[in-house]
Chains A and B, each alone.
Chain A
C-alpha cells in the first residue's frame, strides 16, 4: 500500500535513500541540495540506516570517495548542486569511464555568474558529456520515483554507468507537496541487493581498476562506453515497466501531453512543464491544438522517439533552461533539432531560453510561446530562431 505524505523533493530523495540503505554516502554540502545529506546524517544517527557516512572536504573528494567505494564493490551515493557539480567534473568522467554506477542526486541550480542559488539547468547540462545517465523530474513524486529506479538502471550489467537524479533547485527540492511513498519492504524488494560480479575486495579474484589506455585502446574503450549508454535506453524502459507493474505509476523517456493531434508543441523539462500543461489545457479549451513533451531522460537522449512524437507538429518551441552561449541556441534545442534533422517532414523549430537563475515562468508566458508558434504556422515564417524570454528590456 502506498503511503500518503507531504514532503519536499529533498526529503523525498532522502526517504528513498533511507529505504534503499546504500553502503556509502560521501557528503559535502551545497545549497539547495544540503538537506539531502542532512536528513541522511539524521538517519545514520538514529540507526535507521547502516550507511557509512563520510564527510569529505570537497565535492571532488565526495565523488572520488564514491568511486572508491563502488570499485570496492558497494553502493555509493552523494548529492550536490551548481558549483559543487562543476567541481566534481573531472571525477564524473572517471566514474563514467570506469563504469561505476554511482547515483548522484542533483538539486539543479544556476552556475555563477552572477552568483545565484536558484534554479536552472546550467549545472547538470554542463555535465551532459560526462557519461552519466540523467533523469529529470517535474515534481517531488517523480524525483522519488526516479530515485527508486536509479540503482537498477545504473547497475544493470548491460549498462553499468553512473546516474544523476535531477530535481529543480528550490522549486522541487524545497517546496512541500503531496506524495505517495512506497513501503520500505516494497522498495527494498524492487531495488534489490547490489551484487557486482567483480570488485576490489573480492579476495579470490584481485582486480585492477582504471588502467592507462594508450591510443591503441582509448578509442575502443570509448566506443564500449557509448554502447553502454545506448543499452541504457532499453534498460530505462524495462525498469519503468516493472515500476509501473509494481507501484502503478508510468514513466518513459518523456511524457507526451496532448500530443496525439498537436499542431503547436513545446519541448520542456522539469517543474516548468507543470506550468506549461495549464497553458496547454487553457488553449485546448479555446480549440488550439497545443501539446507538450516533457523530457525525463536527457542522457541517453531519446532522439528517435522524440522526433517521432514531434514529426506531425507544424511548429515546435524548445524551452532551454540553460544558456549554452553557443550564439545559436541552448543545449536542448541543439539536440532536439539534431534529432529531427532526418525527418522527411519536420516542424519549424525555435529555441527559447528562459527561467535562468530562478526567473519565474508563468502560465501567461507559456501561452505567449504558443502564440508565437501559432503565428509561425499562420505566416509560414519562423522568424528569430534563438531568443530569450522573461528578461527586462
Chain B
C-alpha cells in the first residue's frame, strides 16, 4: 500500500493508488498550500491577550495552539482568508500590507 509521502509529481501513472485513494489520515500537512495566499496575516504578539478566538475560526488549522496559547502562523498552510483578522477583538492580527499604516506597529 503506497503511503501519501511517496506520492509526488515525479512518480509514474503505474505508481498512483487506485482511484487516487489516500490510505492514511492527516495527509494535507504534506501539501504546502500556503503559496495560494495573496495576502498575509501578521500576528502582533504584544497586543495578543491569548483569548484564542482566532484558532477555532481558522478554516485551515493554520494557527497552532499548545498549552492554552497560540504561536506563530503556519504559513505553509495559511491561505490568507483574513477571518482571523475579522474575529480578533484586540487588533492583534492585521494584513502585512497594512502594517505600516497602523499606529504603534512596526
List A residues at the B interface (Cβ < 8 Å).
97-100, 160, 198, 205-211, 213, 216-217, 219-221, 223-224, 227
What are 9 contact pairs spanning A and B, CB under 8 A?
A97-B19, A99-B19, A207-B21, A207-B22, A208-B22, A208-B27, A209-B19, A216-B9, A224-B13
Contact, CB under 8 Å: B21 / A224: no
B22 & A220 in contact (Cβ 8 Å cutoff): no
Determine the distance from Cα of A72 to Cα of B21 in the docked complex, in whole angstroms. 13
Residue of B11, B13, B19 with most partner-chain A CB within 10 A: B19
The distance from the CB of B2 to the nearest CB of chain A, in whole angstroms, is 11
Contact across chains for A223 and B20 when beta carbons are under 8 A apart: no
Query: In the complex, which residues of chain A have a beta carbon less than 8 angstroms from the beta carbon of B18?
Result: 99, 160, 224
Structural contact, A198 and B24, CB atoms closer than 8 A: no
- Chain B 5-45: CB-based contact to A (< 8 A → 1; otherwise 0): 00001011110101111111101000000000000000000
**B27 nearest CB neighbor, chain A only:** A208
With contacts A206-B24, A206-B25, A208-B27 taken as known, whether A98 is within 8 angstroms of B13 at the C-beta atoms is no
Contact B23 A205 (CB under 8 A): yes
Q: How far is the CA of A220 from the CA of B14 in the complex (A)?
A: 8
**8 interchain residue pairs of minimum CB distance:** A99-B19, A220-B13, A208-B22, A216-B9, A206-B25, A223-B13, A98-B19, A224-B13
Give B residues with C-beta under 8 Å from A. Answer: 1, 9, 11-14, 16, 18-25, 27
What is the bound-complex CA distance between A220 and B16, given in angstroms? 8
User: In the complex, which residues of chain B have a beta carbon less than 8 angstroms from the beta carbon of A97?
Assistant: 19-20
Q: CA–CA, A290 to B19, complex, Å? A: 45
The answer for the CA separation of A219 and B11 in the assembled complex, in Å, is 12
- Hey, which chain B residues are within 8 Å of A209, CB to CB? 19, 21
How far is it, in angstroms, between the C-alpha of A219 and the C-alpha of B37 when the chains are bound? 26
Greatest chain B CB density within 10 A among A98, A209, A224 is at A224
Point out the residue from A198, A219, A227 that lies within 8 Å of B21, measured CB to CB.
A198
Residues of A within 8 A of B21 (CB): 198, 207-209
Q: Is the CB of A221 within 8 A of B25?
A: no
CA distance A7 to B61 in the complex (A): 59
Is the CB–CB distance between A221 and B20 below 8 Å? Answer: yes
Q: Which residues of B contact A210 (CB under 8 A)?
A: 19-20
Contacts of B12 in A (CB 8 A): 220
Judge whether B20 and A217 touch: CB under 8 Å.
yes
Contacts of A217 in B (CB 8 A): 9, 16, 20
Cα A286 to Cα B24 with chains together (Å): 68
Nearest-neighbour CB distance to chain B for A91, whole angstroms, equals 14
**Cross-interface CB contact of A211 among B1, B20, B24, B25, cutoff 8 Å:** B20
**A208-B25, A209-B19 given; 12 more Cβ-contact pairs under 8 Å:** A160-B18, A160-B19, A198-B23, A206-B23, A207-B21, A209-B21, A210-B20, A213-B20, A216-B9, A217-B16, A223-B13, A224-B13
Complex formed: what's the CA distance from A207 to B9 in Å? 21
Q: How far is the CA of A213 from the CA of B6 in the complex (A)?
A: 16
Q: How far is the CA of A206 from the CA of B21 in the complex (A)?
A: 11
Bound CA span A100–B21, Å: 11
Are the CB atoms of B22 and A211 closer together than 8 Å? yes
Tell me the minimal C-beta distance from A205 to chain B in angstroms: 6
